[in-house]
Structure 1
Amino acid sequence: MQFLSPRDSRLSTTTRGIPLVDGLATEDVGSQRWSPSRGDLALPALTLDEAAFGANRDLFLNWCRSAGVAVAPHAKTPMSPELARSLRAAGAWGTTVANIQQAAVLLASGERRLLLANQIGGLAAGRRLGALLSAYGDVDFHAFADSPAAVAALAEAARIAGRSELSVLVELGAGRAGARDPAAVAATIAAILSADRLVLGGVATYEGAAATSDAEATLRAIATLLERTVEAFALVRTTVPQRPLIISAGGSAYFDIVARALAPVAQADGNAIVLLRSGALFFADHGIYARAFADIDRRGGLLVDGLHHSAAKSFRPALTLWAEVLSRPEAGLAIAGFGMRDASFDQGLPLPLRVFRDGVEQQGLADQLAVTRLNDQHAFLSVAPEAALAVGDIIAFGISHPCTCLDRWRVVLGLDADGVVTRAFPTQFG
C-alpha cells in the first residue's frame, strides 16, 4: 500500500489547497508562509488550527486521566499518521483503526499498539490480516468478534501471521455490529477459547450506534447496552480470572456516560482498563459535536481534578474550510468554490465564519450569509440584501462532522495563531 510520507513526499499541482508549486516537499510547506485569508492557497483548502487541536488534546487526555480511563483515538477521522503519533506521544494508550487497510497505514508509519474496532469479515479477510501482521511481529494488536464466524477469521489471521496469541474482544452491539443477546456472547467466548492462537482480551461496544432522534430514548438505549457490556465483562472475567482485560467503548458524543458506567467496573476488577476510542472530538466542529458538547454540559460537563469545565466552551473547532466567491449572479445569491467533493454535509451544511477581502477581514459580513445547498463543486449561499459580498472575497467556513470532511482531502494544512500555514499533514485514506 502506497501512501505519502511527511518526510519524503512531494506535493504536486494537483494537490488541492497547494498553489502551483510542483514537487514541493511536505516538510518545506511551512517555509512558504502561505495565508489562506490573503488568497495564497489554491482554494478550496482545508486547514487545521494547531493551537485548537492541541488544546482539545490536552483537555481530553487530562479528563481521561481524571476519570480513570484511557483512550486509543480513532485514526479513521484524520487518517494522518503524524496526528496519530502526536496523540500517542501526548499520552494516548494507542490507536484505533476501522479496517485492515487503516491498520496497514498505521503499522507502516510506526504505530505498534492498535485496536481494530470492527468486524473484519470472513476467512479471506482473515488471510489478508494475517499477511499484514506477519510483517509486524512486535505489534500489540487487539480485534473485535461478535460471532463464531468472526472468531474463525481472526484465528486464520493468527495462524498465517504465526502469532502465538492474538487478543480478541467480544463485541456487543445495538444498531450496528455486535452480539445482541447472552447466547451470542457465550457462543463467541466459547469459539475464542477453543481456537488456537486466540486469547480473550475483554469486551467492547459502541454506544453511538444506539442513538436515535429521541434524546431520552437514546440515553435509555445506551444505559441498557452498557449494562449488557458489564454483564459480558463479568462472564469473560470468570473465564480468564488472571488475564489483563480491556473494556472498550466511547466515541466523541457520549464518552462521559461511558466513563461513569464502566470506570468503576474496571477499578473494582483491578486488572482491567476502560479504553475509549474517541477521535472526532480532537477536531470538534461547528455542528454535530458542538451540539453533543452542549448535551454533555447538560449532563454535568467535564470534571478534571475536581474542577468543572464546560465541554461546549472548552473544545474548540480546529478545522476550517476556505473558499472563494466565484459569482454573484443575482440578488441574494452567491456561488462559492466548494461543494460536496470538499465538505461534509451528512450532519449539517458548512457555516460561514469570517469573510476576507484582500487579506482584511470584513467584520460582520459572515453573519449575513448562509449555505443553503451544495452540488459537487459549488456552494449556494443566501446573501442578505444589505451584504456587500463581492466576487473574489474569501470565506472561512466551519464544518459539521470532521470524519466525513477530512476524508475528502489528501493534505490538510496546519495553521498557527496568525493564520499562517506551518506544515502539511498528508492523509492516507484508502
Structure 2
Amino acid sequence: MQFLSRWESQRLSSTTQGIPLVDGLPIEEIAGQNWQPSRGDLALPALTLDEAAFAANRDLFLRWCESAGVSVAPHAKTPMSPELALSLREAGAWGTTVANIQQAAVLLAGGERRLLLANEIGGLAAGRRLGALLGAYSDVEFHAFADSPAAVAALAEAARIAGRGELSVLVELGAGRAGARDRAAIEATIAAVLAADRLILGGVATYEGAVATPDADETMRAIAALMERTIAAFALVRHAAPGRPLIISAGGSAYFDVVARALAPSAQADGNASVLLRSGALFFADHGIYARAFAELDRRGGLVIDGARHSAVEGFQPALKLWAEVLSRPEAGLAIAGFGMRDASFDQGLPVPLRAFRDGVEQQGLAETLSVTRLNDQHAFLSVAPDSTLGVGDIIAFGISHPCTCLDRWRVVLGLDADGVVTRALPTQFG
C-alpha cells in the first residue's frame, strides 16, 4: 500500500480544496473514512462526482458511438484526471484528446499512449517543446492539428527533435476559431505537410461549436455548411494521401449527433477512414448549458441506438455537485453560502440549489425555495423565501453549469456512491 510522504501530503493539502487529508493517511484509505458531505464531515466547499451517473453517461455515449459508426477520444481538458481518462479508454474510447502540450505531458505521464492534440501548438519554440516531450515517449501514437504552413513547420520541428519517423497531422479547417478558412489555405497546409520531412497526412479536423449562435436554426445551417467544407477538405487530403488510414475529427458535447450524421457516410464510403469525436463534458453533464443542449438534441430526434430512440435529457445525468454551508442569514430574504467564483463555474449560468441538509438529514422542499443570484470571490448570495427555515450551518448541494470551467477550479474531486459516501479522491492536474 502506497502512503503519502510527509512532503506529498503537505503539498497536496496546500493545493486542494475541501478534503482534510491527514499526514500519513494513504490516499487509498480515503474511501474507508465514510465521509459524507451532507453531514458536514468535510471542510466545505467540496466538489463531488456521482460515480454511478458518470459510469451511466459513459456507457450510454459509447453505445451510441458504436451504433452511429464513430469513435471518441474524450477531451481530457474537462477533468484533467488521468484516472478518469483511463476509465474511459478501458470502457472503449479510442484514446484521449488534449488541448496543448502541457495537457499532453500530464496524460502521457499518466500512461496514455494514443493522443489527439486538438489545436495548433504555436511556433518553432513550441515545436521544440513538443519534440522534447515526444522524444521521451517513443511508443505514443500522436496526432496534431495544423491550419497553415507555419503550424506545419512547428510540427516538423517537433518530429525532428523527437527523432520520430512519422508525426501525423490533421488539417484543421474552421470558422469562428482556428482553422483554415478557404480551399487555398487548406491546399497550402496539405502541400506543407507533403514537403516536410517526418510528417504524414493523418486526416482533417474541425469544431462545429465555434459556429453556434443563439438561434437554433441558424446554428444548424452553419454547422451543415461547415460539415460540407469538412467533407470537401477530406477529399483533398485523401487525394494527397491515397491508401492511408485517415481521421475525420469533429464533435464536442452539444452537436455530436449532427456531426456524426454528416460525416459518417463519407468515412464509410471511403472505406479507410474513421470519424473521431472529441466530446468531453457530456460524460459529466450538468444542470445548465448541457441540460439545455440535451433538450435540443431531443428536439432533433434524440439518441438513436440500434434503431431505437432514447431521450438525451433522461439518459445523461448530471454527475457533479458542489457542496457548501450556509454561513450567514444577515437579513430577511438573503442567505450567504460559503462558495464563490473561486469554486464554481458561472460563465454559462449560476449554480442551482438541489438539496438541503441539516445535521445530515435532508430538508424536503427547502432547496426549491432557494436561488443563487450572484457570486463574489468566496460568497454566494441566495434569495430565500420569507418563510424559509434555512439556517446557519445547513448544507446545500448545488448543480453547476459547464463542467469544464468548474472542474478546473479544483485540485481534488471526491467520488460519491449512491448513498452519498465518499468512494475515492480524484486529483486533477490543471497545472
Deviation at 1:6, TM superposition (A): 11
1:429 and 1:177 mapped to 2: Cα distance? 23
Deviation at 1:13, TM superposition (A): 6.3
Paired letter, 2:394: D
Which residue of structure 2 aligns with residue 201 of structure 1?
A: 202
1:179 aligns with 2:192: no
- Contact 1:332/1:383 (CA < 8 Å) preserved in 2? yes
Paired letter, 2:73: A
> When the two structures are aligned, how many residues end up with a matched partner?
426
- Contact 2:3/2:24 (CA < 8 Å) preserved in 1? no
1:27 aligns with 2:25: no
1:258 aligns with 2:259: yes
Paired letter, 1:197: R
Which residue of structure 1 aligns with residue 100 of structure 2?
A: 99
1:390 and 1:303 mapped to 2: Cα distance? 46
Deviation at 1:20, TM superposition (A): 6.0
Which residue of structure 2 aligns with residue 111 of structure 1?
A: 112
Which residue of structure 2 aligns with residue 356 of structure 1?
A: 357
Spell out the pairing of 1:57-76 with structure 2 (5 A cutoff). Answer: 57-76=58-77
Which residue of structure 1 aligns with residue 55 of structure 2?
A: 54
When residues 428 and 306 of structure 1 are mapped into structure 2, their CA distance, relative to the original with a 3 A threshold, is same
1:397 and 1:318 mapped to 2: Cα distance? 11
Spell out the pairing of 1:366-385 with structure 2 (5 A cutoff). Answer: 366-385=367-386
For residue 193 of structure 2, give the secondary structure of its aligned residue in structure 1.
Answer: helix
Measured against aligned partners, the alpha-carbon deviations of 1:256-302 in whole angstroms (never above 9, x if no partner) come to 00000001110111100000000000000000000000000000000
Which residue of structure 2 aligns with residue 130 of structure 1?
A: 131
Paired letter, 1:289: Y
Deviation at 1:22, TM superposition (A): 3.4
1:294 and 1:12 mapped to 2: Cα distance? 40
Which residue of structure 2 aligns with residue 301 of structure 1?
A: 302
2:82 and 2:56 mapped to 1: Cα distance? 19
2:21 and 2:154 mapped to 1: Cα distance? 47
1:425 aligns with 2:426: yes
Deviation at 1:23, TM superposition (A): 4.6
- Contact 1:340/1:376 (CA < 8 Å) preserved in 2? yes
For residue 101 of structure 1, give the secondary structure of its aligned residue in structure 2.
Answer: helix
1:56 and 1:46 mapped to 2: Cα distance? 18
Paired letter, 1:295: E
- Contact 1:12/1:24 (CA < 8 Å) preserved in 2? no
Paired letter, 2:312: A
1:386 and 1:23 mapped to 2: Cα distance? 47
| 5+ long unaligned stretches in structure 2 | none
For residue 275 of structure 2, give the secondary structure of its aligned residue in structure 1.
Answer: strand
2:331 and 2:28 mapped to 1: Cα distance? 43
2:191 and 2:205 mapped to 1: Cα distance? 16
Paired letter, 1:365: L
1:116 and 1:386 mapped to 2: Cα distance? 53
Measured against aligned partners, the alpha-carbon deviations of 1:181-207 in whole angstroms (never above 9, x if no partner) come to 000000000000000000000000000
Paired letter, 1:401: H
When residues 58 and 78 of structure 1 are mapped into structure 2, their CA distance, relative to the original with a 3 A threshold, is same
Which residue of structure 2 aligns with residue 319 of structure 1?
A: 320
1:37 and 1:87 mapped to 2: Cα distance? 28
For residue 21 of structure 1, give the secondary structure of its aligned residue in structure 2.
Answer: coil
Pick which of 301-310 and 143-152 moved more.
Answer: 301-310
Paired letter, 2:381: F
Deviation at 1:14, TM superposition (A): 5.7
Paired letter, 1:355: A
When residues 364 and 387 of structure 1 are mapped into structure 2, their CA distance, relative to the original with a 3 A threshold, is same
For residue 105 of structure 1, give the secondary structure of its aligned residue in structure 2.
Answer: helix
- Contact 1:13/1:22 (CA < 8 Å) preserved in 2? no
- Contact 1:13/1:20 (CA < 8 Å) preserved in 2? no
When residues 255 and 361 of structure 1 are mapped into structure 2, their CA distance, relative to the original with a 3 A threshold, is same
- Contact 1:169/1:201 (CA < 8 Å) preserved in 2? yes
2:3 and 2:367 mapped to 1: Cα distance? 35
1:149 and 1:395 mapped to 2: Cα distance? 51
1:418 and 1:370 mapped to 2: Cα distance? 25
When residues 156 and 7 of structure 1 are mapped into structure 2, their CA distance, relative to the original with a 3 A threshold, is farther
Q: Aligned Cα RMSD in Å?
A: 1.3
2:52 and 2:3 mapped to 1: Cα distance? 20
Measured against aligned partners, the alpha-carbon deviations of 1:68-89 in whole angstroms (never above 9, x if no partner) come to 0000000000000000000000
For residue 413 of structure 2, give the secondary structure of its aligned residue in structure 1.
Answer: strand
2:410 and 2:206 mapped to 1: Cα distance? 29
For residue 356 of structure 2, give the secondary structure of its aligned residue in structure 1.
Answer: strand
For residue 190 of structure 2, give the secondary structure of its aligned residue in structure 1.
Answer: helix
Measured against aligned partners, the alpha-carbon deviations of 1:295-333 in whole angstroms (never above 9, x if no partner) come to 000000001112111001110000000000000000000
Paired letter, 2:390: L
- Contact 2:168/2:202 (CA < 8 Å) preserved in 1? yes
Paired letter, 1:169: L
1:18 aligns with 2:13: no
| 5+ long unaligned stretches in structure 1 | none
For residue 12 of structure 1, give the secondary structure of its aligned residue in structure 2.
Answer: helix
Measured against aligned partners, the alpha-carbon deviations of 1:82-103 in whole angstroms (never above 9, x if no partner) come to 0000000000000000000000
When residues 160 and 69 of structure 1 are mapped into structure 2, their CA distance, relative to the original with a 3 A threshold, is same
Paired letter, 1:379: A
1:383 and 1:22 mapped to 2: Cα distance? 40
When residues 158 and 299 of structure 1 are mapped into structure 2, their CA distance, relative to the original with a 3 A threshold, is same
Deviation at 1:26, TM superposition (A): 2.2
For residue 429 of structure 2, give the secondary structure of its aligned residue in structure 1.
Answer: coil
2:208 and 2:41 mapped to 1: Cα distance? 43
When residues 81 and 20 of structure 1 are mapped into structure 2, their CA distance, relative to the original with a 3 A threshold, is closer
Which residue of structure 2 aligns with residue 155 of structure 1?
A: 156
Which residue of structure 1 aligns with residue 140 of structure 2?
A: 139
Deviation at 1:219, TM superposition (A): 1.1
1:121 aligns with 2:122: yes
- Contact 1:7/1:27 (CA < 8 Å) preserved in 2? no
- Contact 1:12/1:22 (CA < 8 Å) preserved in 2? no
For residue 24 of structure 1, give the secondary structure of its aligned residue in structure 2.
Answer: coil
Deviation at 1:7, TM superposition (A): 8.5
TM-score by length of 1: 0.97
Paired letter, 2:170: L
For residue 116 of structure 2, give the secondary structure of its aligned residue in structure 1.
Answer: strand
1:15 and 1:158 mapped to 2: Cα distance? 36
1:405 aligns with 2:406: yes
Deviation at 1:226, TM superposition (A): 0.7
